[in-house]
Amino acid sequence: MPMTMQHHMPNTPLVDSRERLRTSLRHLEAVQAGGRHWALAEAHHTVAGAYRELGAWPSALANLQAARRWAQAGGARDLDIDIACTLVETLAGAADAAEHQQRGGGRPLREQARDVVFDTAQELARVADAQREVGVLLRLSDVLDRFGDRDDATQLQMRALQRTVGETPVTTPRAVDAAASRAH
């Protein structure tokens, strides 16, 4: 009895990533017809994630920039903050890739990431949800820590801690006195 061979593409991470990219591009195309700002922002965010999985850093970054423009145009502050976090993480990945190609090649991308971190941290001051602010601050501090910016990362972590406990900043005399009295 003759055996029939079925030819199919194996399920590998690369094949899966390419399929996610195709699916997300089709979704973006469908969403573009509707013209809803938040939907376009989310679709570009998803496309960027697929490009990021493939290591296609310029395409990922371009889609994240488009996603932020759509989120900002629609007044979707929370979505814009989420996209900004992904942008920072993607810039960090792109910086690592550029650094592997040429020593010092990642510096401009790291600087851009730092700018986005500090802009996003400022924007967070307008967010009412303390839990959300804490999560974003910690996510941003992770990237700064990865860059070796320990002081700035620690400042964001302290801000997150302050939001978590709802106390006065630990550098104020009242907080120092309270901490000292607890130690004795």
Dihedral sign, Cα of residue 33, residue 38, residue 39, residue 43? positive
- Exposure string over 21-48, b if 16+ CB within 10 A, otherwise e: beebbeebeebeeeeebbbbbbbbbbbb
| Of the candidates 70, 63, 129, 131, the residue with the CA atom closest to the CA atom of residue 139 | 131
Closest CA to 145 of 134, 158, 154, 133: 154
Q: Both tokens of residue 129? A: 């949800």
pLDDT digits (tens, 9 = 90+) for 76-127: 999 999 999 999 999 999 999 999 999 999 999 999 999 999 999 999 988 8
Task: For 49-59, write each residue's pLDDT tens digit.
Answer: 999 999 999 99
Whether the predicted model's global pTM rises above the 0.75 cut: yes
